[in-house]
């Protein structure tokens, strides 16, 4: 075997080793490209998911802000209602006190009126009796006058 043949064999051997190496590298890069592609797809889906989550977060944040404002408004309403109830309770208590005072005053006035009615009734009875007495006295006066006239007439005759 001459050098040329040996060199050809060596060259064939080197070519074969290089071809095997290139095939392995190609397969490695294809696998790697597949993994990279898969990872890139996962990355894109992750980005979409992140965008979706951000949108949901923004929506949730807006809803939370709206809920907080509504809660604040309701809290103000509750405070106003508490104040109104307190004022109404105080007014009711004042009205009860005024009603008690008015009842006492009404009882006093009723008692006084009843006493005055009794006095008036007595006065009416006395007045009626006096009227009867006056009528009787007038009747007696008429009788005496007529007796006096008769006596004067009889005396004059």
pLDDT band per the 50, 70, 90 thresholds, residue 84? very high
So what's the pLDDT on residue 3? Answer: 81
CA-to-CA separations, 157 to 44, 84, 129, 151, in angstroms, rounded:
159, 103, 41, 10
Question: 142 or 69: which carries more pLDDT confidence?
Answer: 69
Flag whether pLDDT at 1 surpasses 70. no
Q: Which two tokens stand for residue 136?
A: 């009787």
Q: Which two tokens stand for residue 31?
A: 């696998």
The pTM for the full model equals 0.44
Query: How far apart (Å, rounded) are the C-alpha atoms in residues 10 and 19?
Result: 14
pLDDT tens digits for range 24-43: 888 888 888 778 878 888 89
So what's the pLDDT on residue 155? Answer: 66
3-state SS class at 69: helix
Candidate ranges 29-43, 58-72, 137-151; pick with highest mean pLDDT: 58-72
């Amino acid at each position: 075997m001459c050098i040329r043949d040996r060199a050809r064999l060596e060259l064939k051997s080197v070519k074969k080793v290089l071809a095997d190496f290139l095939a392995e590298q190609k397969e490695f890069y294809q696998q790697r490209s597949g993994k990279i592609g898969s990872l890139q797809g996962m990355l894109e889906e992750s980005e979409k998911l992140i965008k979706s989550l951000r949108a949901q977060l923004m929506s949730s944040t807006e809803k939370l802000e709206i809920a907080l404002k509504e809660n604040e408004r309701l809290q103000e309403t509750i405070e106003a209602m508490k104040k109104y109830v307190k004022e109404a309770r105080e007014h009711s208590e004042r009205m009860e006190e005024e009603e008690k005072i008015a009842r006492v005053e009404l009882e006093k006035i009723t008692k006084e009126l009843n006493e005055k009615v009794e006095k008036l009734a007595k006065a009416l009875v006395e007045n009626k009796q006096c009227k009867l007495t006056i009528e009787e006295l007038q009747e007696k006066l008429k009788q005496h006058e007529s007796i006096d006239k008769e006596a004067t007439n009889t005396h004059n005759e």
